[in-house]
Amino acid sequence: MSPEKKLKLLISNDDGIFALGVRTLANALAQAGHEVTVVCPDRERSATGHGLTLHQPIRAEQVENIFHSTVVAWSCSGTPADCVKFALSAVMETRPDLVLSGINHGPNLGTDVLYSGTVSAAMEGVLEGINSIAFSLASFTSHQFETAANFALKLIEQIDANKPPQPMLLSVNIPAVSESEIVGVLITRQGLRRYIENFQKRFDPRGKSYYWLVGEIIEDIEQPANPNLPPHILTDVQAIRDRYITITPLQYNLTDAVIVKYLYQWEGLKDIEEL
């Protein structure tokens, strides 16, 4: 991308408008000369998935003095998906070239993407036919977002130069190490990242019980190979542990082709179809 070529970018997240990750990303892109609009939840909305606000009003207001002076920023009472819908319908006069989400404080690996508000904000962009990227720093304790922001600059240049054949959604995870310690960049497949979960029963100061969800991560559960992908492609869970930046292409169509074929082998399927 030439220095004169600037992109119109929409950025959201699920950590909220005041999160360091979104500020680092938006400011880096604005300083590079891109036209940046930020619309984020007014508070943390992690693990909200693709939820929408349907039974109460959405309140939004413009925010000043948080971001680079050229960034247009809004705070929204809705979910991450609400924020992108609101931005595209009520804030931006023309469609952005890209929808970006993050930089999330914490990884979005494997099955995390099913719950992630960060990924859902980006998915809302691709549902509207716009190339979209979710960025996540693979640590809950590190606050070093600069490496992720620098990679975001390079990645959006590559997307603009190569013009994908259809709107795409990328989930990008960046190891929480210095730039010099990153081994490289890998295209990965979605891994399986589960949790041993339980609800702890606790009591408030008035003696009333409540429950708190806690859990321990289980990683790298054995998975069948995807026949549509080369066998050498690592999962995002494996690659991030080896200090690679991972780029995992995702899709919103959840149809299971293997099970479709399996169901058509059932005896009596024709009887079911005739009901």
Question: Which stretch of 37-41, 89-93, 109-113 has the lowest confidence by average pLDDT?
Answer: 109-113
pLDDT tops 60 at residue 2: no
Can you give the pLDDT at residue 219?
62
Question: Which stretch of 22-36, 167-181, 188-202 has the lowest confidence by average pLDDT?
Answer: 188-202
Pick 198 or 68 by higher pLDDT. Answer: 68
Q: In the structure, what pLDDT confidence band is assigned to residue 202 with cuts at 50, 70 and 90?
A: confident
Residue burial 41-80, b: 16+ Cβ < 10 Å; e: rest: bbebbbebbbeebeeeebebeebeeebeeebbbbbbbbbb
Q: Whole-angstrom Cα distance, residue 212 to residue 203? A: 10
Residue 2: what are its φ and ψ, rounded to 5°?
A: -70, 155
**β-strands 72-76, 35-41: how paired?**
parallel
DSSP assigned state of 201: E
Tell me the pLDDT tens digit for each residue of 215-267. 666 665 556 667 778 878 888 998 999 999 999 999 998 888 878 888 888 76
Q: Whole-angstrom Cα distance, residue 9 to residue 6? A: 9
Q: Whole-angstrom Cα distance, residue 194 to residue 219? A: 6
pLDDT tops 60 at residue 148: yes
Residue 132: what are its φ and ψ, rounded to 5°?
A: -140, 145
In percent, how much of the chain has pLDDT > 70?
Answer: 89
pLDDT tops 90 at residue 68: yes
Domains recognised in the chain with CATH numbers: 8-189+226-252 (3.40.1210.10)
pTM for the predicted model, two decimal places: 0.89
Q: Is 147 helix (H, G, I), strand (E, B) or coil?
A: helix
Can you give the pLDDT at residue 161?
92
Name the average pLDDT for the chain: 89
Can you give the pLDDT at residue 195?
66
Exposed/middle/buried for residue 232 (C-beta within 10 Å: 0-12, 13-18, 19+): exposed
Question: Which stretch of 35-44, 115-124, 173-182, 231-240 has the lowest confidence by average pLDDT?
Answer: 231-240
Can you give the pLDDT at residue 49?
87
